[in-house]
Amino acid sequence: MSSANLTRAEAEQRSADIEVHAYDIDLDLAVAPDPGATGFASTTTITFLSAGEDVRLDFIGEAVLAVMVNGQDRDLDGLWDGSALHLTGLLPNRTNRVQVRAIAAYSRTGQGLHRFVDPVDGETYVYSHLEPADARRVFATFEQPDLKASMILHVTAPVGWSVVANQEVGSQVPVGDTALRTTFHPTPPLSTYLVAVCAGPWHHVHDLWSQRSETSPLEVPLGLWCRASLAEYLDAEELFATTRKGLDLFHDLFGFPYPWGKYDQLFAPEYNIGAMENPGCITFNEKYLFTSRPTRQELAQRAGTILHEMSHLWFGDLVTPAWWDDLWLKESFAEYMGTRAEREVGFDEAWVAFAGARKEWAASADLMPTTHPIAADIPDLEAARQNFDGITYAKGAAVLRQLVAYVGEDAFFAGARLYFTRHAFGSAQLVDLLDALEATSGRNLRAWAEQWLQTAGVDELEVVGPEPGAGPGVLRLERTSPDAARRPHRIAVGLYLPDGDGHLARVRRSELDLSGDGAVVDLSLDPLGAELRGGGPAAADVWARPHLLLPNDDDLTYALTRLDPTSRATALAGAGGMVDPLAQAQVWSALWNDVREARLPAAAYLRAVLDHGGRLDSRDEESATTVLPRLVACVGTGIADYLPEVLRAPAWADAFDGAWRRLGAARPGSDQQLAWARAVVRFGGQVGSADADVVAAGLRSLVQEPGLAGLEVGPELRWGALVALAALDRVDDEELDRALAADPTAAARAHRLTARVARPGIETKQWAWDELHRSPAVWSNEEISAALAGFAVASQRELLTGFTPGYWAGLEQVWGRFPNEIAARLVSGLFPAVNEVDPDRPAAEHEVPAAARDWLATRSAAPAALRRLVVEQADAAERAIRAQQGVLALLAGEKG
């Protein structure tokens, strides 16, 4: 194992051996604008107490220039292996002082200190992203979360630049005529992965949040930062309003005053994730600065991300998981608190979006062979990187929501306050949180934690019936579990019937506890109220009508929902018109689960989405597009992966036509109109050659003047149309270059690359393949993702079959030559797709999963993280094959 991959056992031993007191970090970024400068000077001085004479220190960079231990220079020969410095001769049981002078490397992968040049104005920006273990790419460190220490940061940067870090500026001193050295105030004890430094000619605006009381007045300076060329899109009023409301809420709920001094939020280019909770300097993906008109769903998502990161300032930053096993102690809580708080700032539909999309993300991960408990076993850093997934985030949040209901909100937040008081500025484990919650709730939570946090997999719920010997409406709820665990559920089952307007509305609900394999559900009492009295229809008639039974009504528990045949048919005919948006989101998820599990043909789901996806009425327009983007994405996946090759071309044409029809029917200027316009663009680039000319004409009419009334055609939609036209081979380089000249932004540059690679020619694909495999990478992280999007156009899979042998032969080289973040994108993004299937051949024996199985069998020594990615991709391929075989079997039955 490479020394870069620190194990949990090594971290535990180091934690037992040392106590870190302080870091003094000095970074010289004065020549960062020079493209020839590949690295920067990094000097780190660490003061710590050591029980022994030896210790490992972590650093990954270009060079180590000097190491001094307690004032004595050390011979560098054999001291550094490229990832770790092995120090000896420390003073046992005494304070030691180590200084490392080194050259760290600028990054283009979004890891470490990322450098970006704005194509609009040529300005250079750098920012750090260090989670989970990339602080060592910026300064020498003990790279593990429980070894917290106070940090003093000094940054030398060009005159005219602003430097933002975790604390406020303490002093600034000129360095010659061209640079300025900024020293920041010391931080409270902080994990190394939470250190932040962002430097460049940022545009910034400021405000103040305050909470005043007789005993502890609190004032927190607020700042918003972005690239100068994006200044017009920094909607400061909206962003500050969300920030203030969130701070008000968490100040009251957590009972622990905001502990980090200032509150800066910086929007960074080419950011790998949505955001990062660096205390005092939260960094966000700048895609949250909308250069095109956002939908309400996008505004809600941004607010949720802001509040998610804000809650981390307590859950994760104030109290940090001791090791990545307890990653859920921060991410699950932040996911739950962010969604809960989203409602408090004006987005009442937050839990609808959670049920319709985030829980689906969790279930997808939980159905894989690589599923893991929420409180997972993380043996090393590579494993930690891969557990930032749907289980840790969304499943964890769903389970926490159940815990809050179980112990009560008052007891839950009293427990959180006790947890913060006991472990402030330190680290904690699962048992520490349970102790606090048990103290405030009076409940024994060990069994709950074992059942929900320490077991893997997801239960599936289905209503069957009627219960033998019972009358109409007395049914049975059955649970299917992936293992012997019997997780307790509090469940509601709802009965939905069409109302006077034809919309499905709930008329009966029963709530119960489920601890075994099944339970009786009684929905027999007056499902239609007065209609059943005074000579109305018999109760049995209700069950003969189209109706829908929804297990887990109101989304009380974490489980998959399986609809019975009548309910599935009712949902396919009218789920989009359900009166309750939460129930609607759950029903769409249930239908998608049936597609994924080969119980429902993808074409049936496609027809339902195109007929009534999104609410059909206007009683709740604010929720109109909450789940619609997810439905559109599922349609795309359904056609590409779950329909056999013979049906894909007509299905793409149907999807385009259906989206165009819904677009025409949408209210001008509405979110529905914009969502369906995006769907038109998404589906248009996939149609076959027979329809290409007609579709291309439609795409051009969509984004050119005069266009559709009320539709704002921004850069996102315009470039989406150009990418689709490129996939249809209906746009040339000259037109794309003109578009880039008119919009010379970084986002446009990425779109231009996607369009180039999306062209349906083997020469184009070969060029992209070669460029993607060049090391060091010729493209940044954002550009690699853009190229992968163009390479893997779903309708062009036949072009890509020739790359399959090279994929399997080069996997380990890819993993070894690229940083993990980029390697993982390449491994997943270039994984061979399933094209044609044999209906009579077991799924596991088809070419793609068989090749994966062979590779795994002969590469037992390959890194565990790489093997996990291959296992997951192979599982997805088998799932696709089974779904396609199911459709082929139906076709064969119809012909027979």
How far apart CA 479 and CA 561 sit, in angstroms, is 10
Please give, one letter per residue, the 3-state secondary structure of 483-530: CCCCCCEEEEEEEEEECCCCCEEEEEEEEEEECCCEEEEECCCCCCHH
Give every strand in the sheet of 504-514, ordered side by side.
Answer: 504-514, 489-498, 548-551
Contacts 24+ apart (CB under 8 A), 375-378: 375/325, 375/326, 375/328, 375/430, 375/449, 375/453, 375/454, 376/325, 376/327, 376/328, 377/325, 378/8, 378/323, 378/324, 378/325, 378/327
How far apart CA 626 and CA 638 sit, in angstroms, is 20
How far apart CA 788 and CA 825 sit, in angstroms, is 8
Give the DSSP H or E segment for 14. helix 8-17
Output the CA angle 745-748-754, nearest 5 degrees.
150
Of the candidates 675, 673, 668, 700, which has an alpha carbon nearest to the alpha carbon of residue 685? 700
Which of the residues 309, 349, 382, 878 is marked catalytic?
Answer: 309
The single-letter DSSP state of residue 190 is B
Q: Tell me the residue type at 364.
A: S
Output the CA angle 654-657-660, nearest 5 degrees.
145
Give the DSSP H or E segment for 312. helix 296-312
For the question of residue 821 being annotated catalytic, the response is: no
How far apart CA 614 and CA 850 sit, in angstroms, is 39
How far apart CA 275 and CA 296 sit, in angstroms, is 20
Q: Are 782 and 750 in contact (CB under 8 A)?
A: yes
Q: Which two tokens stand for residue 649?
A: 């071309």
**Which residues on neighbouring strands pair with residue 551, listed in sequence order?**
493
350-388 per-residue burial string, b: 16 or more CB within 10 A, e: under 16: bbbbbbbbbbbbbbbbbbbebbbbbbbebbbbbbbbbbe
How far apart CA 780 and CA 126 sit, in angstroms, is 13
How far apart CA 112 and CA 375 sit, in angstroms, is 27
Q: Which two tokens stand for residue 456?
A: 């893997």
**Residue located via tokens 């309003």:** 241
Of the candidates 407, 487, 242, 350, which has an alpha carbon nearest to the alpha carbon of residue 416? 407
Residue 665 exposed, middle or buried by CB count within 10 Å (0-12, 13-18, 19+): exposed
Q: Tell me the residue type at 193.
A: Y
The single-letter DSSP state of residue 187 is P
Of the candidates 816, 762, 754, which has an alpha carbon nearest to the alpha carbon of residue 5? 816
Of the candidates 87, 66, 318, which has an alpha carbon nearest to the alpha carbon of residue 190? 318
The residue ranges of DSSP E strands in 51-111, in sequence order, are 55-58, 63-69, 72-73, 84-87, 94-107
Residue 706 preceded by cis peptide, ω within 30 = yes
As annotated, the active-site residues are 309
